[in-house]
Structure 1
Amino acid sequence: MEKLLRLSRIIDALNDRIGRFTYWLVPLMVLIGVWNVVGRFVGRAIGQNLSSNAYIESQWYIFDLVFLLGAAYTLKHNEHVRVDIFYSHWSPKRKALANSIGTLLFLIPFCIIIIFFSWDTILASWAIRENSPDPGGLPRYPIKFMIIVSCVLLILQGISEAIKNFAYLKGAIAPQEEHHDASL
């Protein structure tokens, strides 16, 4: 069990670092968005284009990164959206069992299906070095690859969560609510 918990800690640390990096992308995205708006209006006033498709697309790409890279971090911190009409009243053991079942039957298979069905499209995008059809736009192939990265990170975090839930059910650790941000 200790080896599995060590693996869980490694996965948690990886997704924590990525999530904390992603956190800093949000102000960058906002700054670019502000520049796009201000540049458009000031540019019109002075008769010069101060924005570009590259700035607009970079704002979109950063939003994509926040969503795609932040998903596993959100799962790690148990902050994802859930309909908890029943869940909120369940015991910690029942929650751990429900989370394990959800991870193994839904999360991991869903991520595998996304990887499977997007793989060829992403490879084709890389093969042609797909670019934006808009003048001055950015390359599309790197951001498309982040779909796979996101799913792999979610699978890893799902494995980590399953390990922690299994360890809790076996009595090896405290319920996850009690060690939400603490190391195992």
Structure 2
Amino acid sequence: MSDQLLPVTSLSQLIDGVVIKLGSALGWIWLLLIGVIVVNVISRYLFSEGFIELEELQWHLYATGFLLGLSYALVQDAHVRVDVFRSRWSEQTRAWVEGYGLLLLLLPFVMLVLIAAGPFVLYAFETSEVSQAPGGLPFRWVIKAMLPIGFVLLLLATLSRLSRVLCLLFGWPKPRAAQ
């Protein structure tokens, strides 16, 4: 469902604003990732010297960008959709399908990940988990903490989107007045 068709609510405006600012601020992470990959490739192929730290940093940056980018993609309506049937549906039908998808698929999945991620991160923190690779990165809990952080942001983005769908379908919450 296109963002232009969904009314903006006070909740969605607040959440979307935070997620968009965070997503825009973290866009540099992709440039940093490219830089690390280039340095790693050059060191490996020109100098025959590989660095496990750089390899691990690559996947840490990728995971961080991906996990924190999920909410940004949802808020910007930039996620992948299957539009085989959707293009023929009315605005109301699309809103119903989106609402059911958010409530029955995305929210339970997000909650399941959040429930499972807590002990996962806590254990890594309590045991001061580090990479098992010689010369690997310490503080494994930092990258593992990106999982619940990313999914909390996705939960907020889902609630924002749901408020917009509910506003379209039922008129609640009230749409934000045009400014």
In the superposition, the TM-score normalised over structure 2's length comes to: 0.86
Hey, what's the Cα distance between the residues in 1 that align with 2:134 and 2:47?
18
Matched, 1:148 2:154: no
Instruction: Report the counterpart of residue 26 of structure 2 in structure 1.
Output: 22
1:60 aligns with 2:70: no
CA distance, structure 2, for counterparts of residue 89 and residue 173 of structure 1: 26
Residue identity matched to 1:145: A
Give the Cα–Cα distance (whole angstroms) in 2 for the partners of residues 136 and 21 of structure 1. Answer: 30
Q: Is the 8 A contact 1:131 1:137 kept in 2?
A: yes
Q: Deviations over 1:15-49 (max 9, x none)?
A: 101211232111110111000000112223xxxx4
**Greater than 4 Å deviation, 4+ residue runs:** 171-174
The 8 Å contact of residues 22 and 65 in structure 1, kept in 2 or not, is answered as no
Secondary structure at the residue paired with 2:9? Answer: helix
Identity %: 32
Equivalent residues in 2 for 1:28-177, closer than 5 Å = 28-44=32-48, 49=49, 51-138=50-137, 139-170=139-170
**1:99 Cα shift?**
1.1
Query: Amino acid of the residue matched to residue 20 of structure 2?
Result: D
Distance in structure 2 (CA, Å) of the matches to 1:135 and 1:88: 53
Report the more deviating stretch, 100-109 or 80-89: 80-89
CA distance in 2, matches of 1:101, 1:163: 13
Offset of 1:173 from its aligned partner? 5.0
**Aligned residue pair count:** 168
Structure 1 unpaired stretches of 5+: 175-182
What corresponds to 2:3 in structure 1? none
Higher relative contact order (CA 8 A, sep 6+): 2
Shift in Å at residue 169 of structure 1?
A: 2.0
CA distance in 2, matches of 1:54, 1:14: 32
What is the identity, as a one-letter code, of the residue corresponding to 2:110? C
TM-score norm. by structure 1 comes to 0.84
